[in-house]
């Protein structure tokens, strides 16, 4: 993916988690892995005194998260024009943790929330950002389809959020247990990992029968050594 005006790498901001603070991580590589694995995040802002949260596809580009939407409306554009602070959250559920009590049961997960002001991306930078978004969500697809029309580009607004103020929390462990914890150890405890997979490609109704499946779809669904896992 082409990096767009990315500044030098910076450490995570010193925002602190209060509850279970031991699960907070400032590992930049862990943050990037989360953002480079997940495809959907949730953008939150306050509009006219009302909190609004919207799920959005996204892509990480260097030290920024890229988002896009319609120029015809949307609270994200309003938040950007007003320069207000927004929050963008991304979560990956990696498994369920079955303990010997419901109280001690948990989840294995990775989550991050980035805070900041949305920055409009203009001109050629917007074209590059849209291409970066497309390549992230559907690798290789831009080369297989027609070029974006001028009116389509004009109807799309690209925004980016700097990753300067981020807090990340994660759990990657088994069930809480100890030899003398007083629990009945004959009751099963452990972790059930959560896996995800792409399904079989389904052609549209107007795609002629026998049309070859494009390379981008084949690559996505048949990656060597990865089965059909999400990227």
- Average pLDDT of span 196-220: 94
CA dihedral for 113, 114, 119, 122, sign (positive or negative): negative
Q: Using CA atoms, how far apart are residues 159 and 126, in angstroms rounded to an integer?
A: 8
Residue 66 has a pLDDT of 95
- Convert the pLDDT of each residue in 127-141 to its tens digit: 899 999 999 999 999
Q: Answer yes or no: is pLDDT of 41 > 60.
A: yes
Instruction: Indicate whether 49 pLDDT > 90.
Output: no
First to last CA, the chain: 14
Kindly list the structural domains of the chain, giving each domain's residue range(s) and its CATH number in brackets, ordered by start. 21-195 (2.30.110.10), 196-231 (no CATH)
In this prediction, residues 190-199 reach a mean pLDDT of 92
The DSSP-derived string for 29-59 is: HHHHHHHHH--EEEEEEEETTEEEEEEEE-E
In sign, the C-alpha dihedral spanning 229, 115, 67, 27 is negative
Q: How many CB atoms lie within 10 A of CB 86?
A: 21
What confidence category does residue 9 fall into, taking pLDDT thresholds of 50, 70 and 90?
Answer: very low
**Residue 120: pLDDT above 50?**
yes
Instruction: Write the pLDDT tens digit of every residue in 140-150.
Output: 999 999 998 98
Q: Which two tokens stand for residue 13?
A: 């901001």
Least confidently predicted of 7-16, 142-151, 170-179: 7-16
Q: Is the pLDDT of residue 124 over 90?
A: no
Q: Is 123 helix (H, G, I), strand (E, B) or coil?
A: helix
Measured distance CA(231)–CA(223) in Å, rounded: 9
223 C-beta neighbours (distance < 10 Å), count: 13
Nearest of 2, 66, 67, 62 to residue 28 by alpha carbon = 62
List Cα–Cα distances, 183 to 99, 177, 178, 189, in angstroms: 10, 8, 9, 11
- Which pLDDT score is estimated for 94? 96
What count of Cα atoms within 13 Å lies in the side-chain half-sphere of residue 38?
A: 25
Q: Please state the pTM of the whole predicted model.
A: 0.84
Q: What is the pLDDT of residues 13-28, one digit of tens each?
A: 467 777 766 777 888 9
Helical residues (DSSP H) of the chain, grouped into ranges: 28-37, 75-82, 123-137, 150-154, 215-221
Residue 32: pLDDT over 60: yes
């Amino acid at each position: 993916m082409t990096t767009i005006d990315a500044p030098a790498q910076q450490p995570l901001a010193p925002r602190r988690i209060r509850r279970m603070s031991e699960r907070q991580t400032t590992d930049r590589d862990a943050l990037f892995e989360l953002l480079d694995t997940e495809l959907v995040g949730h953008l939150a802002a306050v509009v006219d005194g009302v909190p609004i949260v919207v799920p959005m596809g996204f892509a990480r580009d260097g030290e920024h998260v890229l988002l896009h939407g319609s120029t015809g409306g949307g609270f994200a554009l309003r938040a950007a024009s007003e320069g207000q602070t927004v929050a963008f959250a991304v979560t990956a559920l990696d498994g369920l943790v079955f303990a010997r009590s419901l109280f001690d049961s948990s989840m294995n997960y990775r989550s991050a929330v980035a805070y900041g002001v949305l920055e409009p991306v203009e001109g050629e930078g917007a074209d590059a950002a849209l291409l970066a978004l497309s390549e992230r969500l559907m690798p290789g697809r831009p080369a297989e389809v027609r070029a974006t029309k001028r009116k389509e580009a004009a109807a799309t607004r690209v925004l980016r959020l700097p990753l300067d103020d981020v807090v990340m929390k994660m759990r990657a462990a088994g069930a809480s247990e100890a030899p003398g914890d007083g629990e009945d150890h004959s009751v099963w405890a452990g972790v059930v990992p959560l896996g995800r997979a792409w399904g079989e490609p389904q052609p549209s109704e107007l795609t002629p029968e026998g049309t070859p499946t494009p390379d981008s779809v084949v690559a996505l669904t048949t990656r060597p050594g990865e089965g059909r896992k999400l990227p």
